[in-house]
A and B are shown apart, each in its own frame.
Chain A
């Protein structure tokens, strides 16, 4: 039992299901989630996406904070929680009530990992996200750092300031800083996988092999979820 007042105390009773993919950029989690969504839709399930940091009202503030480098560990944590709260209230809970399958690209575990590495108290950040719905299953895509870095650099060519942890001054060189910062984050994810029983996916497997495992893992949870084709 989780103590009251921390994330995990908000139980479920919704008709829909919530599946979460977690992991660092370059772990391939978003590719897997897109493939999963296509499959679920083809099977007739109503699917809703919810992406980290995507609230139309909040994300302009987050962007501004990042561009002007205004964000401290504390305000970085709070603005992401604000974005999440907006999506929980307007997107995630109503969709789950309506019986949809909600697919979340990153969830509270992203905050638990990053914010703690930035020096935020682990208990405080868990309490901050107390209003979050506990997912049906959360998958953690485990990837070695050098592979993730290679993927990021081949897609977008550059590392971002906050993603490299430049704000906490680990190293002057952005690539060195990235390696140090993300290594701490991977260590936090490993702890979170234990604490919250995350389903670990080896993100070095071929894409189609991972997808097969992902579908197999969620299938038992789809029983009694309404499909479009079930309507008469």
Chain B
């Protein structure tokens, strides 16, 4: 039985038949705490004996340097950025995600195509086009969507060093100053993520609770996904 399939066009010259791991996506806006939770989940799953791998946006061998360089200038257009991120994603899909799934790992990804689709739409891309671009991506076992209202995101941004240029959509920009732009941009991103949540069946999690409650909630949900596949983890006699 094939565990994984693509949303549309398959990956050229690649057969998903032998992929046995789990693909678990943590989605959510900037500053919602995804990175912290990916880290906690990883430790939790490793204690249970699962082998865990991680990836996240702009971590490809192929394109991450190029994207960083492109972000330094101000001439790179939005379609070019959309496709550069798609290149980065494709490289990670084929060189990080698929090899991990083939080896039976739990692949935790800090955002997936959904954030990229949402950001592209907010920057004016046609929703059908950008979804079609990413139609080669594998359907994950679960998408856990950490959701927070924008005023709370703004408070967290203030507490962690202020408003970031890109996270505030200042390339557009969407307001008179970075605060206004942040509020408008993040509201639009969340609006698009909410639509994608309905379309792609995310599990939405209220991230306004304390870290421990959120971590507990995420752990239970991921355990349920792993249990549903009927495969026990390799026993780990060395409890860390």
Given A57-B66, A85-B77, A90-B75, A72:B83 Cβ within 8 A: no
Residue of B nearest to A74 (CB): B90
A201 at the interface (CB under 8 A from B): no
Task: Determine the chain B residues whose CB is within 8 A of the CB of A30 once the complex forms.
Answer: none
Residue of B nearest to A58 (CB): B66
Task: Determine the chain B residues whose CB is within 8 A of the CB of A151 once the complex forms.
Answer: none
Task: Determine the chain A residues whose CB is within 8 A of the CB of B90 once the complex forms.
Answer: 72, 74-75, 78
Interface pick from A19-27, A46-54, A122-130, A184-192: A122-130
A135 at the interface (CB under 8 A from B): no
Given A57-B73, A124-B135, A74:B12 Cβ within 8 A: yes
CB-CB contacts below 8 Å: A68-111 with B = 68, 70-75, 78-79, 81-82, 85-86, 88-90
In the complex, what's the smallest C-beta–C-beta distance from B223 to chain A, in angstroms? 33
Given A5-B132, A119-B12, A82:B83 Cβ within 8 A: yes
How far apart are the CA atoms of A158 and B158 in the complex, in Å?
57
How far apart are the CA atoms of A82 and B126 in the complex, in Å?
16
Task: Determine the chain B residues whose CB is within 8 A of the CB of A120 once the complex forms.
Answer: 9, 12
In the complex, what's the smallest C-beta–C-beta distance from B82 to chain A, in angstroms? 8
B94 at the interface (CB under 8 A from A): yes
Q: Please indicate which of the listed interface residues A60, A79, A168 has the most CB atoms of chain B within 10 Å of its own CB.
A: A79
How far apart are the CA atoms of A89 and B79 in the complex, in Å?
8
Given A58-B84, A81-B83, A64:B62 Cβ within 8 A: yes
Report whether B132 and A168 are in contact in the complex, using a CB–CB cutoff of 8 Å. no
Report whether A86 and B12 are in contact in the complex, using a CB–CB cutoff of 8 Å. no
B63 at the interface (CB under 8 A from A): yes
How far apart are the CA atoms of A81 and B79 in the complex, in Å?
10
Chain A residues bordering chain B, tally (CB within 8 A):
35
Report whether A75 and B91 are in contact in the complex, using a CB–CB cutoff of 8 Å. yes
Residue of B nearest to A128 (CB): B133
How far apart are the CA atoms of A88 and B80 in the complex, in Å?
9
How far apart are the CA atoms of A221 and B70 in the complex, in Å?
37
Report whether B70 and A57 are in contact in the complex, using a CB–CB cutoff of 8 Å. yes
Task: Determine the chain B residues whose CB is within 8 A of the CB of A64 once the complex forms.
Answer: 62, 65-66
A43 at the interface (CB under 8 A from B): no
- How large, as a class, is the contact surface on chain B? 35 or more
Given A74-B12, A124-B9, A85:B79 Cβ within 8 A: yes
How far apart are the CA atoms of A81 and B90 in the complex, in Å?
13
In the complex, what's the smallest C-beta–C-beta distance from A73 to chain B, in angstroms? 4
Report whether B9 and A86 are in contact in the complex, using a CB–CB cutoff of 8 Å. no
Task: Determine the chain B residues whose CB is within 8 A of the CB of A128 once the complex forms.
Answer: 83, 132-133
B238 at the interface (CB under 8 A from A): no
Report whether B13 and A118 are in contact in the complex, using a CB–CB cutoff of 8 Å. yes
Given A57-B73, A58-B80, A72:B87 Cβ within 8 A: no
Report whether A57 and B8 are in contact in the complex, using a CB–CB cutoff of 8 Å. no
Q: Which of A71, A74, A85, A119 contacts B83 (CB 8 A)?
A: A85
Report whether A124 and B91 are in contact in the complex, using a CB–CB cutoff of 8 Å. no
A65 at the interface (CB under 8 A from B): yes
Interface flags, B55-88, vs A, CB<8A=1, else 0: 0000001110110011001011111101110110
How far apart are the CA atoms of A89 and B62 in the complex, in Å?
23
Report whether A86 and B80 are in contact in the complex, using a CB–CB cutoff of 8 Å. yes
B45 at the interface (CB under 8 A from A): no
How far apart are the CA atoms of A64 and B126 in the complex, in Å?
30
Report whether A130 and B129 are in contact in the complex, using a CB–CB cutoff of 8 Å. yes
Residue of A nearest to B92 (CB): A75
How far apart are the CA atoms of A81 and B136 in the complex, in Å?
15
Residue of A nearest to B78 (CB): A89
How far apart are the CA atoms of A26 and B188 in the complex, in Å?
49
How far apart are the CA atoms of A61 and B90 in the complex, in Å?
14
8 closest cross-chain pairs (CB), A and B: A89-B77, A61-B66, A119-B12, A86-B80, A82-B83, A73-B12, A121-B9, A78-B87
Apart from A78-B86, A85-B77, A85-B80, what 18 extra A-B contacts exist at CB < 8 Å?
Answer: A5-B132, A58-B66, A58-B70, A60-B66, A68-B61, A70-B62, A72-B90, A73-B13, A75-B87, A81-B83, A82-B83, A88-B79, A89-B79, A89-B80, A118-B13, A120-B12, A127-B129, A128-B132
